[in-house]
Amino acid sequence: MRNSNVAGRDFSGVASRQGRALGVAAVAGLAGLCLARPAAAAPAPGADAPMAATPTAASDSTEVAGVRIDGKRVADPSSSKFTAPLVDTPKSVTVIPSKIIEQTAATSLTDILRTSPGITFGAGEGGQPLADRPFIRGQASANNIFVDGVRDTGGQTREVFDLEQVEVVKGPDSAYSGRGSGGGSINLSSKTPKAETFARGSVGVGTDEYVRATADVNYAINDSVAVRLNLLGAEGNTPGRKGVEFSRWGVAPSLAVGLNGDTQMTVSYYHLDTDQTPDYGIPLLTKTTEPRTASGILAVDPRSFYGVADRDYQKTRSDIVTFAIDHKIDDDLAVRQVVRYSKSLNDYIVTNPGDGGVAQLVNGQWWMKRGTKTRWNPTTTVAAVTDLHGKKTLGGLEHSFDLGLELSREENRNATYSTFTTSGAACPAGFTIAANTLASLGAGDCTLVYHPNDKDSWTGIINRGPASRNVAKTAAVYGFDTIKFGDRWLLNLGLRHDHYESAGVDVATTQANGVFTSVTYTPRHGSWDFTNYQAGLVYKPTEHASLYVSYGTSSTPPGISGGDQNANTATGSGNLSSTQLVPEDSKSVEAGAKVNLFHDSLALSAAAFKTTRKNAQIQVDNGVYAQVGEVEVKGFELGFSGNVTPKWQVFGGYAYMDSELVRGAVTVAANGGVVTNLNTGDPLANTPKHSFSSFMTYKITRRFSLGGGAYYVSKSFGGNQGGAGGGTNKVYAPAYWRYDGFASWTINDQVDLQLNVQNLTDKRYIMRTNGVHHADPAPGRQAILTVNVKY
């Protein structure tokens, strides 16, 4: 058991790690029980891969990669805010169906979004949580993640066991989602009860002690009532990393009443518990005074792990309760009401290899003192969303519309831990430690830079400090309309107005010898009103194709632009310290084309775009700040999804992004002089110029399929807050190609085997870097064999 040597630790609300292996074994056993065929139920041919956009599931023989061959439909977004099919929506939207999630053996949001080019992930640092931090078209989008259309707040590491599909909207979309960073948004569409009985399950085992078991059971009590239960248990080690392990378990029951009637009620609960070793990767050039490498990342063994098993941990928990009612008023009008309560916790202590001071050369070897980053971050959200949607003909024009109201309250608390060492790995004679570091971290806890020992013992004092608190409230109204002009033209309009308030108390603390010695509380409050819109004109040369131009806007209130959870003040710095900042504004112009081929079984898309973000607070002179910062991203994107032939399935795309800091902060020299716009013209952090993804499978025989994935990401600079080029360090993650392998064998109608080899060539690449302290190596090669069973 970890952390047995820790004194004074407060683990309020955090589950113990004991019983880890039992959790997976228990879920695997339950999966086996659930897969026992119900005596009174006939086999469910539609149970293989239901889609959120489809009322009933497609049979296994006619559905590949989320495409219903018999229904002649490709996957569409699940939200009623999309008032036209995907092919007629004048915006870049990627729908990642359940079949792709399953075939790629994805288990996390990072795994899923790898298949969508133009999306990267940022490192947790500089006030950002160690959690999911996607960047969409160069903009931090951790605050733009939704579950079934409702914002999913709080720093989290998300799972996929209860997902039907993932929908990515790219470009400023505040008309859809409200406040946001301007890059886009991600909606996770959950599994819901169906009017049929089926059972599915899987058990996977692999290298690096990988074990994963899931179960998905749907039981139709009668024609109108059904229940569904999804279960997860998983554990393993991270391939290519020393001592980095994880365990997870989850449960997601749901009940639907009125499935075949005019009024349907759904109640669902989702729980996920994770316990893992946090990993801040390897140091950067700033750690030593040795000559820098080209990328600025130290040339250490990529397996090197700098953490301490006796101290480091990350535990997360998520609980979501949702109540939804869908009522059909008539054939052309319906209303939907969703009420949600959710609570999440992100709790961790992680060793930061670049945060304990610069390494020192002692007796011919480089030594470093370990530093830490810590967080205790519970978030509670209550939200209610109402949508009135349908079709009406007015003035001879056909309107497909959605009108809505959104109310939400989000409470976010944030505290840090002391990590004072009383006994740990000794520092060598001659190693000096600064007085402030001694007061906060204690003596000892040293390791070799090029040969770190993750088995070092550690004993110390861990206390949780007082927490800051922030409450964010949103009240918004919105409307969308797709107006049809004859058979060729569509006009897509969207408008949303938000009233957003953020109030709370910031906490500043000092500590000595593991005890918090002083606390300063600073109250703050801010409120903003902003209106965003979108407009798109669509021309349809054929029934299954479209050409479009569109314009969209987004607003980013202070405190959410960097991906942290509503935790910054509403006022600015320096001369703006008593001035409430205005939201940053983003706008995008996009032109594109979409077509569905082969009886709507293959979707192709192409889009060119230009996105500009303004009003960022920057320093413009010595001690002078103004909201004049500006960034720009322009480029184009190609996408493909579906079946080229009944045997050949494809999914992926290519994105080109030319990003630039148009106007950034000046650098003030020590003598008070000003070096103007040092980083102006630099590319943005986490914004590679080229990214490509492709996952394909081919059915060689009726029972045997082969395939795999190819992924390319060009050089990508790092940065704490999404700034340019990682500041003056110019640290970047080098370009890389990655390949995955896939094979499946259908034993019979109920059982199939699936083999995935992730990172087939064992490519050692850097998947992200924060640009100042550390770089995160990607996992190495891993083979996973999965048995899938269905009834």
CB 198 within 8 A of CB 42: no
Smallest CA-to-CA distance from 758 within 723, 711, 722 is with: 711
What is the C-alpha separation between 772 and 769, in angstroms, rounded? Answer: 8
In one letter, which amino acid is 500? Answer: Y
Name the phi and psi angles at 350, rounded to 5. -130, 140
Residue 77 placed within a domain: no
User: In this predicted structure, what is the pLDDT of residue 58?
Assistant: 35
Contacts (Cβ under 8 Å, ≥6 apart) of 692: 117, 652, 653, 654, 655, 710, 711, 712
User: In this predicted structure, what is the pLDDT of residue 561?
Assistant: 54
Identify the band that residue 60 occupies on the pLDDT scale cut at 50, 70 and 90.
very low
For residues 198-205, give the mean pLDDT: 98
User: In this predicted structure, what is the pLDDT of residue 296?
Assistant: 87
Per DSSP, helices labelled H in 422-506 are 435-441
Strands (E), 486-623: 489-512, 515-539, 545-556, 584-597, 602-621
In one letter, which amino acid is 546? Answer: S
DSSP assigned state of 57: P
For residues 350-374, give the mean pLDDT: 90
Smallest CA-to-CA distance from 771 within 714, 703, 723, 708 is with: 723
In one letter, which amino acid is 617? Answer: Q
The token pair at 389 is: 């949607």
For the stretch 493-537, pLDDT in tens is 999 999 999 999 989 888 889 999 888 988 888 999 999 999 999
What is the C-alpha separation between 502 and 179, in angstroms, rounded? Answer: 12
Smallest CA-to-CA distance from 269 within 227, 235, 233, 215 is with: 227
DSSP assigned state of 429: T
Give bridge partners of residue 333 from the DSSP assignment: 330, 390
Smallest CA-to-CA distance from 737 within 780, 691, 768 is with: 691
Per-residue burial over 663-698, b = 16 or more CB atoms within 10 Å of its CB, e = otherwise: bbbbeeeeeeeeeebbbeebbbbbbbbbbbbbbbbe
Half-sphere exposure of 18 toward its Cβ, with a 13 Å CA cutoff? Answer: 4
What is the C-alpha separation between 656 and 668, in angstroms, rounded? Answer: 34
User: In this predicted structure, what is the pLDDT of residue 73?
Assistant: 61
Smallest CA-to-CA distance from 738 within 718, 705, 760, 723 is with: 760
For the stretch 625-637, pLDDT in tens is 899 999 999 999 9
Smallest CA-to-CA distance from 96 within 110, 83, 84, 80 is with: 110
Domain extent, residue 465, equals 86-790
Place of tokens 């001592």: 243
Smallest CA-to-CA distance from 280 within 422, 128, 431, 416 is with: 128
Residue 22 has pLDDT above 60, yes or no: no
Smallest CA-to-CA distance from 303 within 780, 718, 737 is with: 780
Identify the band that residue 305 occupies on the pLDDT scale cut at 50, 70 and 90.
very high
What is the C-alpha separation between 479 and 456, in angstroms, rounded? Answer: 58
Residue 528 placed within a domain: yes
Residue 127 placed within a domain: yes
Positive or negative: CA dihedral 168, 174, 177, 183:
positive
Identify the band that residue 187 occupies on the pLDDT scale cut at 50, 70 and 90.
very high
For the stretch 216-243, pLDDT in tens is 999 999 999 999 999 999 999 999 998 8
Contacts (Cβ under 8 Å, ≥6 apart) of 122: 128, 133, 134, 135, 140, 563, 685, 686, 722, 768, 770
CB 196 within 8 A of CB 173: no
Residue 419 has pLDDT above 80, yes or no: yes
Place of tokens 């002692």: 362
Place of tokens 């319906």: 334
What is the C-alpha separation between 318 and 297, in angstroms, rounded? Answer: 35
For residues 143-166, give the mean pLDDT: 92
CB 65 within 8 A of CB 649: yes
Smallest CA-to-CA distance from 708 within 655, 760, 747, 666 is with: 760
DSSP assigned state of 562: T
User: In this predicted structure, what is the pLDDT of residue 671?
Assistant: 66
Which residue did the predictor score with more confidence, 31 or 553?
A: 553
Residue 279 placed within a domain: yes
Identify the band that residue 128 occupies on the pLDDT scale cut at 50, 70 and 90.
confident
Residue 31 placed within a domain: no
Identify the band that residue 729 occupies on the pLDDT scale cut at 50, 70 and 90.
low
Torsion of Cα atoms, 288 then 291 then 293 then 298, to 10° = -20
Residue 57 has pLDDT above 80, yes or no: no
Give bridge partners of residue 783 from the DSSP assignment: 757
Residue 19 placed within a domain: no
Residue 701 placed within a domain: yes
Stretch among 9-18, 498-507, 570-579 having the lowest mean pLDDT: 9-18
User: In this predicted structure, what is the pLDDT of residue 699?
Assistant: 97
CB 454 within 8 A of CB 308: yes
Residue 30 placed within a domain: no
Q: How far is CA 232 from the centre of its chain?
A: 19
For the stretch 399-416, pLDDT in tens is 999 999 999 999 999 999
Average pLDDT, the chain: 87
Smallest CA-to-CA distance from 572 within 623, 537, 531, 648 is with: 623
Got the DSSP string for 323-390?
EEEEEEEETTEEEEEEEEEEEEEEEEEEEETTSS---EEETTEEEEE-EEEEEEEEEEEEEEEEEEEE
Place of tokens 């009135």: 388
Got the DSSP string for 224-250?
SEEEEEEEEEEEEE-TTSTT-EEEEEE
For residues 146-161, give the mean pLDDT: 91
Strands (E), 716-779: 716-717, 732-733, 736-746, 751-758, 766-769, 774-777
Per-residue burial over 93-119, b = 16 or more CB atoms within 10 Å of its CB, e = otherwise: bbbbbbbbbbbbbbbebbebbbbbbbb
For residues 19-27, give the mean pLDDT: 43
Strands (E), 415-485: 420-424, 446-448, 458-461, 468-485
What is the C-alpha separation between 179 and 358, in angstroms, rounded? Answer: 39
Place of tokens 């949580």: 129
| CATH number for the domain harbouring residue 398 | 2.40.170.20
Half-sphere exposure of 199 toward its Cβ, with a 13 Å CA cutoff? Answer: 15
Residue 657 has pLDDT above 60, yes or no: yes
Residue 39 has pLDDT above 50, yes or no: no
Give bridge partners of residue 648 from the DSSP assignment: 645, 698
User: In this predicted structure, what is the pLDDT of residue 127?
Assistant: 62
Identify the helix (H) or strand (E) that includes residue 167.
Answer: strand 163-170
CB atoms within 10 A of CB 331: 8
Q: For the chain, give the percent of residues with pLDDT over 90.
A: 68
CB atoms within 10 A of CB 781: 18
For the stretch 474-492, pLDDT in tens is 999 999 999 999 999 999 9
For the stretch 69-114, pLDDT in tens is 333 467 889 999 999 999 999 999 999 999 999 999 999 999 999 9
For the stretch 424-456, pLDDT in tens is 899 999 999 988 889 889 999 999 999 999 899
Report the number of distinct structural domains present in the chain. 1
CB atoms within 10 A of CB 361: 14
What is the C-alpha separation between 439 and 498, in angstroms, rounded? Answer: 46
Strands 150-151 and 145-147 come out as antiparallel
Torsion of Cα atoms, 613 then 619 then 624 then 628, to 10° = -10
For residues 650-671, give the mean pLDDT: 88
CB 83 within 8 A of CB 401: yes
Identify the band that residue 570 occupies on the pLDDT scale cut at 50, 70 and 90.
confident
Smallest CA-to-CA distance from 371 within 281, 285, 437 is with: 437
Identify the band that residue 727 occupies on the pLDDT scale cut at 50, 70 and 90.
low
- List the Cα angle 215/218/223 in 5-degree steps: 180
What is the C-alpha separation between 574 and 578, in angstroms, rounded? Answer: 9
Residue 133 has pLDDT above 80, yes or no: yes
Residues in the chain: 791
Identify the band that residue 130 occupies on the pLDDT scale cut at 50, 70 and 90.
confident
What is the C-alpha separation between 233 and 598, in angstroms, rounded? Answer: 39
In one letter, which amino acid is 458? Answer: W
**Longest CA–CA separation in the chain, Å:** 87
Residue 464 has pLDDT above 80, yes or no: yes
For the stretch 245-286, pLDDT in tens is 999 999 999 999 999 999 999 999 999 999 999 999 999 887
Which residue did the predictor score with more confidence, 155 or 587?
A: 587
For residues 596-603, give the mean pLDDT: 94
For residues 613-641, give the mean pLDDT: 91
SS3 for 273-303, per residue? EEEECCCCCEEEHHHCCCCCCCCCECCCCCC
Identify the helix (H) or strand (E) that includes residue 790.
Answer: strand 782-790
